[in-house]
Amino acid sequence: MGRIMTDQTQPAAADAHKDRPGSGAELVGQLNTAAGGREKTRDLKPLIHLWPYITAQKVDALGAVVFLLLSSGATFALTGASRFLIDNGFGSRNASQLNFWFLIVAVVALVLALATALRYFYITKLGERVVANLRKDVFSHILSLDPGFFLKIRTGEVVSRLTTDLQIVDTLVSTSISVALRNGISFIGGLILLMFVSPKLTLFVLCIFPVVLVPLFTFGKRVGKLTRQTQDSFANAVGTAGETLDALETVQAFVREDYARGRFAEGVETAFKLSLKRMGARAFMTALVISLVFGGVAFVLWLGSRAVIAGDMSEGTLIQFVMLSVLVAGSVGSLSETWGDVQKAAGAMARIDELLGSKPTIIAPAYPQALPDPARGEIVFRDVDFAYPARPDQRVLKGFSLDVKAGETVALVGPSGAGKSTVFKLLLRYYELSGGTITLDGVDITKADPKAVRERLSLVAQDAALFSASAADNIRFGRADASDDDIRAAAQKAQALGFIEALPEKFGTALGERAKSLSGGQKQRLSIARALVRRAPVLLLDEATSALDAENERLVQDALNEAMSERTTLVIAHRLATVLKADRIVVIDEGHVVEQGTHDELVAKGGLYARLAELQFNS
């Protein structure tokens, strides 16, 4: 039987949503919006870390530089060709000369077009390749970090750096650098050519520059500040609306609709008033800049025209001078905008460097000790002490000791906060021990490769973490080389085959984000199937039935009984009824074992377990 294929194509859904923007377009829009709010920094050192990624793409980088220089040279050549077209073409009154210089202008324009297109291709390809490699490296590094890292930083912030910050870097490498280099060459080369064309007029242009640029930057900052204030004010209004809608039943229950309308209207009006100020400042800036720019251009043209009349300058030279002046002035404006992108990318790269610079605390030893083969599934905790990195002064486990024999089913029970889940996390090598040892099949797990240890363990958690793939792919996540027969057998043992076969595409049905199309019981049984297909000698069950109703709990418990019969099993459960059949029940309180035995033995002792059992079974 061939591999079960996932067919996520939904023609009906596609037709229903064909006029809506795709998820990719929505994501790009969200990234661009988020990128606009990122902070800038004047420290450009983080951008140095992009250099190895750029130099690794030698062909694309060389192509980008060559065609950048060629397109810039063609731009300057076009101004010269236009000059000779006026002077030697129109000025000669000769049709053949006119045709010749028009041909030269056309050739230069064609070279400019081709060079610009190839420059865009190579620089964009370079940027996309650099960011793709960087994105893969960042994600790969994130996967190597242990859970302790995520106690210090929110997962949403990590995702934001992986998406928004890398999008900013992408813009820098594929666009901003090209724009900055092109405009830098245009500015320097244009000024040099202007000095050759007419030193006198060039000095006049340089004197006019500050008169135009100072008001532009001054009012530009004010407009930018007002724009940010408007955006913040509107965001507050939207936040008020969202808060109100989330609690709409409460608002209506207390008859506070008028109050909610007033708050939202006040926020909208505040944003509108700030928008008026912004529009006024922008309108004034636009009028001022246009007046100064065209006034300056008119003044220079007036001086140039007088020079042409006096015979000090040809008409073509004046045209070339004007073209170069516009080119230089435009490059200055573009450089100012690009500088903002560079600062923003430096800030983004600094945040990415922080991720790449984070070192995992759980790493494989230089010479890891191999686990015995075949695996037995024997587990020993000996005098284990542990405190979470975020709370080093609060020990969760204190001298915890436990021996689990191969094939034994041991249930861990106790009050919340006793340290039961921490036992699993330490066995899975999520954290380093504060003291003591844990051995798996006689090998200290700190001396073994963490991946080798985890390959011997299979986890079924309370919250079944499933993926937006097919049912088959979710089961195969437990073991990549599992065959279709293995997947079907695991599903059958997990009591999941019935509902999977009822799905539209059976095993090939896409389950959607976090498998939201399934019920809680179905998710849990699929999670158990994933654990079974792994064929690990040790099964870890963490509150696997706590969130289920009676019917689903019965089905899942049947699946768990099947799973536990073939391997060493550690069970965490608050519902004592689910662990009555365990070979041994271990009671944990305040980080250490207080009693252990069978259900009947522990009830007879009259200790903590007996009190917990009385509370649950009597209720």
Q: Name the band, by pLDDT with cuts 50, 70 and 90, for residue 151.
A: low
Residue type at position 178: S
Q: Is beta strand 568-572 parallel, antiparallel or unpaired with respect to 538-542? A: parallel
CA-CA distances (angstroms) from residue 514 to 466, 468, 521, 557? 5, 6, 14, 22
* b/e code 397-419 from CB counts within 10 Å (16+ = b): bbebebebeebbbbbbbbeeebb
Flag whether pLDDT at 537 surpasses 60. Answer: yes
* The listed CATH number (1.20.1560.10, 3.40.50.880, 1.50.10.10, 1.10.3720.10) that belongs to domain 44-198+333-361: 1.20.1560.10
Res 547: pLDDT:
54
Reported confidence tier of residue 617, pLDDT bands at 50, 70, 90: low
Amino acid at site 196: F
> Residue 114: which pLDDT band, with cuts at 50, 70 and 90?
very high
**pLDDT tens, 155-190?**
667 777 777 778 788 777 777 777 888 888 888 888
For 380-399, write each residue's pLDDT tens digit: 888 888 888 778 788 888 88
DSSP secondary structure string for all residues of 421-455:
HHHHHHHTTSS--SEEEEEETTEEGGGS-HHHHHH
pLDDT mean across residues, the chain: 77
pLDDT band, very low/low/confident/very high, at 563 (cuts 50, 70, 90): low
- Residue 24: the pLDDT is 46
Q: Identify the burial level of 304 via C-beta atoms within 10 angstroms of its C-beta, where 0-12 means exposed, 13-18 middle and 19 or more buried.
A: buried
Quickly tell me which residue has 């015979």 as its tokens.
311
pLDDT at 339 (0 to 100) = 73
| pLDDT tens digits for range 482-491 | 888 888 888 8
CATH assignment of 375-456+571-619? 3.40.50.300
Question: What is the band of 23 on the pLDDT scale with cuts at 50, 70, 90?
Answer: very low
What does the block give as tokens for 515? Answer: 């498998």
168 contacts 348 by C-beta, under 8 angstroms: yes
- The DSSP call for residue 510 is B
pLDDT at 110: 92
Element (H, E) at 126: helix 95-144
What is the pLDDT at residue 31? 45
Model pLDDT, residue 29? 47
Q: How much is the pLDDT for 229?
A: 75
Which region among 214-218, 273-277, 382-386 has the lowest average model confidence (pLDDT)?
214-218
Query: Worst-scoring range by mean pLDDT, 33-42, 104-113, 528-537?
Result: 33-42
- CB distance 319 to 17 below 8 Å: no
pLDDT score at 43: 63
What is residue 336's predicted lDDT score, i.e. its pLDDT? Answer: 66
CA 64, CA 116: separation in Å to the nearest integer? 10
Q: Which of 234-238, 448-452, 537-541, 557-561 has the lowest mean pLDDT?
A: 557-561
Percentage with pLDDT > 90 across the chain: 1
> In the chain, what are the domain boundaries?
44-198+333-361, 199-312, 375-456+571-619
CA atoms in the 13 A half-sphere facing the CB of 124: 6
Pairwise pLDDT comparison (23 vs 549), residue with the higher score: 549
C-alpha distance from residue 449 to each of 32, 364, 430, 443, 446 (Å):
41, 5, 13, 11, 8
For residue 325, the model assigns a pLDDT of: 78
State how far the Cα of 393 lies from the Cα of 395, in Å rounded to an integer.
Answer: 6
pLDDT at 18: 43
Who contacts 89 (Cβ-Cβ below 8 Å, separation ≥6)? 97, 98, 100, 101, 102
**Predicted local distance difference test score (pLDDT) of residue 16:** 39
pLDDT, one tens digit per residue, over 34-84 is 444 455 556 677 778 778 888 888 888 888 889 888 988 888 888 888 878
Mean pLDDT for 533-562 is 72
Q: Please say whether the dihedral angle defined by the alpha carbons of residues 66, 72, 74 and 80, taken in this order, is positive or negative.
A: negative
Report pLDDT for 546.
Answer: 59
Token readout for 144 is 């190597």
User: Quick one: how far is CA 192 from the chain centroid?
Assistant: 45
pLDDT value of position 513: 66
pLDDT tens for 281-328 read: 778 877 777 777 777 777 777 887 888 887 777 778 778 788 887 787
